[in-house]
Each structure stands twice: as C-alpha cells, then as structure tokens.
C-alpha cells in the first residue's frame, strides 16, 4: 500500500514516489499524455489555439455578421484573387494546415469574400483545412512564437493587425467557414461566412 508520499503505478500496481516519472519496478513512463508526446501536443495547440481564438472573436464582436450563402446569390468572381502559401503541414485526419499571404489591399468586403470562395474551391477535395490569412510574411515566424506565448507587446500588436482571416473546414463536424478580421484579429469589424 502506498503512503502519503507515494502513489501506485497504474501499470504494475507497485508503490512509487509521487514525483516519479518512471516506475522503478516495471519501468513504465508515468508522465501524463502531453508530456510523453510533445510533438502531438504542439500540433494540437497549433490547431486548437487559432480555432478557439476565432470562436471567441465570433462571440465577442457585436459588429460581426453571419452570412449564409444561398443558391440564388450571384457567384463571386475569384479570378483576380491570388495568394502565396507561406507554409503547409498535414493534418492527421486528412487535409492541410496553411499560412497564406495576401496583399493588404485585399482587406475589404469584396476581395475577402472572393478569397473565401477561392479557398473553398481550391481545397474542396480535402477533408479538413486550417488556413491562417496574413498580410505580412513576418507573421509566419511570429505565429510560432505566439503559440508559445513568447511575443513582445509590439510583436503581439503587429501580429494582431496583420492576421486578417481564418478559413476552417472540418468534414466530420460539417464546419466550413471563413472569418474575416477587417481590422486585424482583435479589431471590432469582423465577418463570419458559413458555407
């Protein structure tokens, strides 16, 4: 039986010290899942943090609007919309994550709506997408620091200003949306388009 300074190994049921990371009896790793799997943990954070930020921004902004495209709407012309893919990574459940760069001049209703349509069309065959839209290439490096909560105030302000959109698609949940941040991710002027 384990005393107050010990716990029981969940694998061999022998007593081990409370702070132990490895059982001295069966040599099982006693750390929690996130400490045992740092790569998976970072990947999950890379996906969840921007998704949660987007969801919080959807709920906090009273000037946000929801748009549900219908069959009778005029098709949006996407022929003049161009973007540069800065980085790409695979999503475990199928699909890709991306950081894309657009000109700052696109941050208007017409062009951002066209960009959302273009992303929806370009990645229609993928199961899942998490696409961050930036107006400055420097944000690619800053996003990695942001995920570690390692940004200075000036870098955070710069990141917030130039992070102007997020396209998310999840085939399992049916989510397919583009959140547009006209004044940057923390600005009051936002629009969510559900496809």
93-120 pLDDT tens trace: 788 899 999 999 999 999 999 999 999 9
Residue 100's nearest CA partner among 131, 122, 127, 142 is 131
Q: Is the pTM of this model over 0.85?
A: no
| Mean pLDDT on 61-83 | 65
Q: What is the pLDDT of residue 104?
A: 95
On the question of pLDDT at 32 being above 70, the answer is: yes
CB-hemisphere CA count at 13 Å for 106? 25
Task: Quote the mean pLDDT of the chain.
Answer: 84
Residue 86 has pLDDT above 70, yes or no: yes
Q: Which pLDDT belongs to residue 120?
A: 93
Residue 84 confidence class, pLDDT cut points 50, 70, 90: very high
Q: Which of 31-35, 62-66, 111-115, 142-146 has the lowest mean pLDDT?
A: 62-66
Q: What is the pLDDT averaged over residues 138-149?
A: 77
190: pLDDT strictly greater than 80: yes
What is the pLDDT confidence band of residue 58, given thresholds at 50, 70 and 90?
low
**159 three-state secondary structure:** helix
Surface-to-core class of residue 6, CB atoms within 10 Å of its CB (0-12 exposed, 13-18 middle, 19+ buried): middle
Two tokens, residue 47:
């996906």
Strand order across the 84-90 sheet: 65-67, 190-194, 175-181, 163-170, 128-134, 96-101, 84-90
Q: Spell out the domain ranges in the chain.
A: 1-31, 38-194
pLDDT grade for 165, boundaries at 50, 70 and 90: very high
């Amino acid at each position: 039986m384990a005393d107050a300074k010990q716990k029981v190994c969940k694998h061999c049921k022998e007593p081990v010290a409370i702070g132990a990371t490895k059982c001295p009896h069966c040599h099982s790793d006693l750390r929690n899942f996130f400490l045992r799997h740092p790569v998976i943990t970072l990947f999950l954070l890379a996906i969840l943090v921007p998704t949660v930020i987007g969801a919080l921004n959807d709920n906090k902004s009273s000037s946000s609007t929801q748009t549900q495209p219908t069959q009778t709407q005029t098709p949006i012309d996407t022929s003049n919309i161009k973007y540069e893919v800065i980085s790409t990574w695979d999503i475990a459940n199928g699909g890709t994550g991306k950081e894309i760069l657009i000109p700052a001049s696109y941050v208007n209703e017409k062009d951002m709506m066209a960009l959302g349509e273009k992303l929806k069309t370009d990645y229609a065959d993928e199961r899942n997408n998490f696409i961050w839209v930036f107006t400055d290439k420097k944000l690619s490096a800053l996003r990695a620091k942001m995920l570690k909560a390692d940004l200075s105030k000036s870098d955070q302000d710069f990141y917030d200003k130039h992070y102007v959109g997020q396209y998310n698609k999840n085939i399992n949940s049916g989510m397919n949306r583009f959140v547009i941040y006209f004044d940057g991710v923390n600005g009051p002027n936002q629009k969510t388009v559900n496809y």
